[in-house]
Structure 1
Amino acid sequence: MRHVPFFRWVLTLGVVLFACSVGLDSVRSELPEARQIDLSVVDEKPDGTCRVRWVDPYQKKVREAPYHCDAGRADSLKAPQYFDHRGYGWESGFMITEGPDRGNLEDLTAEPDLGASGVLLLLGVPLIGVGLIGGNLRALPRVMGVRAGLVRRATRLSEAAAWAAEDYERALAAVREAEHRALPSRASGGTPDPRLVTALWALREAGPQARETAALARALADRTHALLHYAAPAAGLRTMLRAGPSARLNAEGALNDLRWLLADAERNGLPERFAQTSVDLLRGQESDQATLAAQADYTRNPDAYHALLAQLTGPEPESRPRATPARRAPQRYGRR
């Protein structure tokens, strides 16, 4: 079951509504132009309710209408303190200069009409808030489940184990490919196949423990590869956010097993052991120095090469390397 991005859709809807509100507001006709004029306050109440007079240049007459004055303005602007031979006070206002209402005073106390853009804005902003807060709260447990460092360490261990196993199998394959050219006996005094001698020399350099190390490396690589498959969502923030509940549960169990395997491998020095085995086996790659070293070593101790060849080409003995103990994977693995 994949993660359902509910809050992401809520956030998207809120952003769409907000964008529609902005679009409608931008295409809506602007308020008519107005200019500030002086008003004569004929009568005024303590709460600011008043009647004012002004000169309407469009109708070319003096007009009078109710208005809401600023009750908190200075007393020197109010009657009778204000210097006016008619005994009126003073106030300022805005007169509309265009449209059918030109010459009228602009009513600053009127409640603005929200309209469609305002309704969309009131709906969009809460949805954006819910989407952001809810999405972050929902993502918090998934973000805390990211263990990128642990996954990287397990990946490096798996790669080192796989390389050690592959290098041993490559060296063993080189011996078997040249098997038809057997080493000459000491009595015959023949010249051995350089490729066979070089491959055997590489295995001798790796030591008798190379077979056990390679078997252990292959088992550990297979084990960690399976666990890394289930732990993949925990490798990064993006993958963890996209994972569903089932995948996150599998990743948590796989991380626990990987943590235990890494601790056991590092305690036993397996990373260094795998790396050293790979280095020793890679010395047998076809090169003049490796061939000369192999021929010199074969000349000094041919019996050891005969014994090693017989051991490698004979029946495969039952080997039981000391593998890193692996706990049984939780039953939830593989459940989707």
Structure 2
Amino acid sequence: MPFFRWVVALGLVILGVSFAVYATAPEDPETKQVDLTVLSEKSDGSCTVSWADPYAKERRKGHYQCDPNRDPLLKDRAYDPETGHGWDTGWMVTDGSRKGDLFVLGQGDAERDKAMDLSDDLIGLSLVVLIVGVVGGSIRSLYRLSGASPSVVRTARRLEQVASRLAQDHAQAVDAVRVAWEPLRQSLVNEALDQVSVEELWHATDGGFDAAELRRCRTRTARDVLDAGTPVLSRLPGVEPGAAERLTAAVQMLADDAVRVGAGRELLERSDPRVADLLNALSVLVRVGPEGRAVADSATELVALLGPLLEKAEPAADRRQMLRADAEERTAAKHAVGLLSRLLAAVEQRGSIDQFAQTSIDLLHGPDADPAGFAARVDFGTQPENYAHLLTELAVPEPQPLPVW
């Protein structure tokens, strides 16, 4: 618990003790006035008296403090010459265990005053302690809240949502292209690899396997080699250690070359339902253009930046969270808020938020309303190079260096 909370707690404890002292201070009991017969009296008023106790139903005798300044006629023989008794009035307790006893008003005042003084002193001390705790705690809270900036965090979260939505929309558009391209890619690979025999592969890889044995195992073409894969090839008869890896690597290079050669304008001009699907998927990204794709890339980069910063700035999103955070979390949150503020200023200056929103809208206008791809094919006819270039950029593998065998 923070230090100043302990101070406030101590002040409340002292205040409670002061109330306890006040509540337990001695008080005068309930009394009523009675007649006293003064049997003897000293000059200071100390006297021996008798009085009628209605509770015990007897006449009692005891010591009492008479009024020394009462009329002389009420004193001693002057009041009753026959008995030599004087007269006075006193107070008798009417409740509690002392019922029927005499009580001198003010006899407990000193003790009560002492208790009241102690209670007052404790109240004053508690107020001082509470003021120190409240003021110190307030100053400490203000310091802890100095880095809280809910507005910055909220704005950054909204920006992350917009950028993340655009990044997802762009990723879905790219995935749609690759899904539509896959059957065409596989067709190009199969056509090319079916024309390459294992004997030709033997010359291309400097041997290491028996082509006749592979044929007997129904592995006759490069396509068969690719379908079998390295684990199966390595277990076939006539295949030396390491040859299966070289063989599959060579076939993969042939497949990539076939894709690079076949993925172009001529392929996209074919009258094929699979090409129509591909043109539809490509048209979405062609429509947003290189600028839109650059905006989507910047949105992806921004999401990657905002994620860790928002995680560190989480305590600064709410003042109560900032108060509960420890020193390390508050320091990290303040630093993250500063970075977020600068990042938001840069994004606002570039107008990126509007660009994100517009590009996301453009990406959502997909080809669902034109499954036959007529509009996409017409658009392809006006800018075929853009379609071919985009297909190469998204789906065609980069040339790999020749392996050293």
TM-based fold match above 0.5? yes
Distance 1:166 1:174 in 2: 12
Gaps of 5+ in 2: 37-43, 73-78, 80-87, 185-264, 399-405
118-127 or 146-155, which deviates more: 118-127
Greater helix share, structure number: 2
TM-score, normalised with respect to structure 1: 0.66
How do 1:159-198 residues align onto structure 2 when only pairs under 5 Å count?
159-182=161-184, 185=267, 188-192=270-274, 195-198=277-280
1:34 to 30, 34, 38: 30
CA offsets per residue over residues 213-245 of structure 1, 9 Å max, x none? 122112222222222233222111111112233
Distance 1:198 1:38 in 2: 115
Distance verdict in 2 for CA 1:5–1:61, change over 3 Å = same
CA offsets per residue over residues 44-65 of structure 1, 9 Å max, x none? xxxxx99999995537479751
Contact 1:179–1:196 at 8 Å: present in 2 too?
yes
Per the alignment, residue 152 of structure 1 pairs with 154
* TM-fit CA distance, 1:248: 2.4
155-164 or 92-101, which deviates more: 92-101
207-216 or 299-308, which deviates more: 299-308
Distance 1:218 1:246 in 2: 29
Per the alignment, residue 140 of structure 2 pairs with 138
Gaps of 5+ in 1: 41-48, 70-77, 81-85, 317-336
Distance verdict in 2 for CA 1:187–1:224, change over 3 Å = closer
159-168 or 103-112, which deviates more: 103-112
Per the alignment, residue 350 of structure 2 pairs with 268
- Count how many residue pairs are aligned between Structure 1 and Structure 2: 285
Provide the aligned C-alpha RMSD in A: 4.6
Matched, 1:295 2:373: yes
TM-score, normalised with respect to structure 2: 0.56
Letter in 2 for 1:298: A
Distance verdict in 2 for CA 1:179–1:293, change over 3 Å = closer
Matched, 1:212 2:294: yes
Q: Give the greater-gyration-radius structure (CA).
A: 2
Where 2:31 maps in the other structure, the secondary structure is strand
Distance 1:195 1:25 in 2: 91
Distance verdict in 2 for CA 1:186–1:99, change over 3 Å = closer
Distance verdict in 2 for CA 1:203–1:187, change over 3 Å = closer
Distance 1:279 1:132 in 2: 54
Distance 2:295 2:48 in 1: 104
Matched residues, percent identical? 29
Contact 2:153–2:317 at 8 Å: present in 1 too?
yes
Letter in 2 for 1:133: V
Distance 1:17 1:208 in 2: 74
Distance 1:159 1:135 in 2: 37
CA offsets per residue over residues 96-130 of structure 1, 9 Å max, x none? 63323732134262232649x96996676655444
Distance 2:397 2:283 in 1: 21
Contact 1:210–1:277 at 8 Å: present in 2 too?
yes
* TM-fit CA distance, 1:310: 3.0
Distance verdict in 2 for CA 1:56–1:167, change over 3 Å = farther
CA offsets per residue over residues 139-163 of structure 1, 9 Å max, x none? 1112233210011111111222222
Distance 1:195 1:79 in 2: 128
Per the alignment, residue 11 of structure 1 pairs with 8
